[in-house]
Structures are given as structure tokens and as C-alpha cells.
Structure 1
Amino acid sequence: MSPIFDFFFEQYSDYKTYHIVLEIVAVLFGLLSVLFSKQNNILVYPTGMISTAIFVYLLIVWGLIGDMLINVYYFIMSVYGWYVWTRKVDDQHVTPITHTTIKEHKTSIIIFISTLLFVFVVYQLFDKWTSWTAYVDTLTTAVFFVGMWLMAKRKVENWLYWIVGDLISVPLYFYKGFTFTSLQYLLFTFIAIFGYSAWKKSLNKNPQT
């Protein structure tokens, strides 16, 4: 094997083949989900639910409790988001893209702080404060929890949280030894940037009162 290949994928030498296949499938559905989200397409949720369900299983196997909690939350919020995105606000229109209100910003802060405290308690219970990555996991979990909630509410600012969380996750997952997932978050970062731009353009074309 070439040194470059070994650098990126040597950690998979001890993995079971079907775990590698499942990670790739989960990554592909995750990418589809983010692409559908960028397009403001309801398929963001069924594709995302498939991805998160697979990752929940894999992360339990790998013992990554914080990451697993993120994906459980994603799954639950996908059900909620699916409902919100298809809910009729009147006889002809479903929930539109809007800016985050002051009240929702305050709720976002509450979700962020509550998530930090929740993950702290969980990591204490499972004795997971064994590496500096646990502290970064706590931060990204809180960031992603807010991002997912805002996306379910169809708020354009959700992309800003995804961009921050994705940028942190790229080196984090590579350090943990999950190259495919790291590459997924790298692609997520670019898609999130374009998603933010696309949603802003859509909002400017269809301003909400």
C-alpha cells in the first residue's frame, strides 16, 4: 500500500468489513440528506433518518457515546422536522423559510447550554472524560443540537451552526480514525456554505412578513 493510502485508511485494517460498508452507506445517505436540505427538499428527512439510524448502531459498537447521542437526537428531530416542513400554515402553503426570531435565538442558547450539561452528565456516568476529544465532542454536540432544531424550524441561520460544527468535526473524526466520516463532514462544510447562500436567496425572493 502507498504511504498516502495507509495514512488515511490504515485504521480500518482492524475493522469488520460490514462495519466499513455500513459507514460508507451511512455517509452516502448523509450526503444525500444535506444536498436535499440545500435544495429545501423534504427528502432531507427520510435520507437523513437512514444515515443516522446506521450511525447510531455503529457508534454504539465503537463506544462513542457523545456521537451516538447526536445521531439519536438527529433521528428524533428528523421526525419533528418532517412534520413541520409538511405542515400547512394555510390552505396553500407549508412552513416557509424564515429568519430566526429573538425568541428563537434565546431558545437556541437554552438548547446549547442544556446540551452541554446533558453531555457532561452522560460522560460522567460512562466515564468518558479520558481524552481531549471528549471536550470537543461536548461542544460539537451542543452546536449540532441547535443547528438541527433550527433546520427543523426551517430557519436560514441553521446553516451557520452546521458550518461551525462541520469544520470542527473534519479533523476530529480523522483523529478518531474514521476517515470516511471525516471526509463526509468536509463535504458537509462546502454544502452548508452553498445551502446558506441558497436559503438566503430563496428568502429574499419570498420575504415573509
Structure 2
Amino acid sequence: MIEFLFAQYKDYPNYLIALELIAVVFGVISVLFARKNNILVYPTGLVSTILYVYILFEFQLYGDLIINFYYTIMSVLGWYLWSKTKDGAEEFPISTINQKDFLISTLIFIITLTFVVLVYHFFDKFTHWTAYVDALTTGLFFVGMWLMAKRKIENWILWIIADAISIPLYFYKGLTFSSFQFILFTIIAILGYKEWKRFLQKTI
């Protein structure tokens, strides 16, 4: 069983394995902070996303690289938005999406999907089913990160769907540690949705 799960790592440089483990640990810590509505989600998340940008470049997984580059930018934006206050209260508290948020989210998804497809075609990487799944999850993750930066509870729904899809996808790609990370992400996302929903019910 161990051989089946981790055999691919025997051909990887030790430094890449170490970087992936560090990225996984900080990624999990970041999502735990997100569940608790804690602004530390962003500085810890930045460590993970920056490391993944490098790792995924080495593995030529351009769709996932784009995701993590975008995460890095959105983490800076989210950090700024979550730190803003108005009259002593959070300017962007936990809330649900409105029609404008939905339209922006739909636009982000379509633009992202189109962009990733073009990138894969440019690098001649649209030759396997994983590229299509990668394009889909990229779109979902982009919208999820945007909604998280705006503290919209629906971000968790997108994380749950995209994380669950990513579990077998990352294992197939040869990143077993990252696959295990997405198992944790899926569980934490479910718990995060429930926790944010309880918070919303208290404020109504």
C-alpha cells in the first residue's frame, strides 16, 4: 500500500518533496484559520501558494500553477479586505452572495476557464483528460478564492466541490501528499461551511 501511494516520489529530488510537505502543512493551517474566520488564513496561505507556484512550474502543471499564482494575489487582497474596519466593525463581515456577486462570480469562472484552455493549447498540453478536469477546478477555485476574500459563505460550497475533485486528480498526477491535503481540505471546508452558517444564523 505504501509503495502504491508513494512510489512516484523515488524519482523526485529531495528538495521538491520537502517543499511539497511544507506547502501542504501551511495550506492545511491556512484553511483551519479560514474555518475560524481568522485573518491569519492569508499570511499562512501565502507561504503555501508561493511554494506551490514553484513546485507546479517544475512539474509543468500550468493550470494548477495559475491557480496558486492567483491565490497569491488574492491572499494579499483578502488580507487587506479582512483587515478593513468601519466604525469599529469589520467592513466585510460574513454574508451571503447577492445578484451582483453572482454575476461577478460567473464572469470570473468563464474568463478563467477560457484562459486556462488557451494556456493549455499554447503549451500543447491539452492531450489528456486531466487537462479538462484541471480547467474546471481552476475555474471553481478562482471563484472560491474571490468569494472568500469578500467573506461570502458560498465560497465553502465551491471549495468542497473542487477539493473533492482534486483528491484523485492530484494522486494521478503523482503528488500524493497534495492529494491527502485535499482530503483534509474537503473535510475542513464542510466544517467551515457549517461554522460560518452558524455564525450567520446568530447575526440574523
Report TM bin, short chain: over 0.9
Equivalence for 2:14: 17
Indicate which of 144, 160, 163 corresponds to 2:160: 163
Indicate which of 134, 154, 163 corresponds to 1:137: 134
For residues 189-200 of structure 1, the aligned pairs below 5 Å read 189-200=186-197
- Counterpart Cα distance in 2 of 1:144 and 1:39: 20
- Counterpart Cα distance in 2 of 1:25 and 1:158: 25
For residues 39-118 of structure 1, the aligned pairs below 5 Å read 39-88=36-85, 90-94=86-90, 95-118=92-115
Query: TM-score w.r.t. structure 1 length?
Result: 0.96
**Once superposed, what is the RMSD of the aligned Cα atoms?**
0.6
Q: Is 2:204 the partner of 1:204? A: no
Query: What is the CA distance between 1:103 and its match in structure 2?
Result: 1.1
- Counterpart Cα distance in 2 of 1:119 and 1:176: 18
- Counterpart Cα distance in 2 of 1:146 and 1:194: 19
Query: TM-score w.r.t. structure 2 length?
Result: 0.98
Aligned to 1:144, what secondary structure does the other structure show?
helix
Query: What is the CA distance between 1:124 and its match in structure 2?
Result: 1.2
1:60-115 deviation per Cα after TM superposition (whole angstroms, max 9, x unaligned): 11111111000000000001101110111x22101210001111011111111111
Gapped runs of 5+ residues in structure 1? none
Q: Give me the identity figure in percent.
A: 58
Query: What is the CA distance between 1:204 and its match in structure 2?
Result: 1.1
- Counterpart Cα distance in 1 of 2:186 and 2:130: 20
Gapped runs of 5+ residues in structure 2? none
Equivalence for 1:182: 179
Equivalence for 1:121: 118
Q: Is 2:27 the partner of 1:30? A: yes
- Counterpart Cα distance in 2 of 1:128 and 1:87: 41
Aligned to 1:96, what secondary structure does the other structure show?
coil
- Counterpart Cα distance in 2 of 1:178 and 1:86: 34
- Counterpart Cα distance in 2 of 1:48 and 1:75: 8
1:121-151 deviation per Cα after TM superposition (whole angstroms, max 9, x unaligned): 1111111112110000000000000000000
Residue-pair matches, total: 203
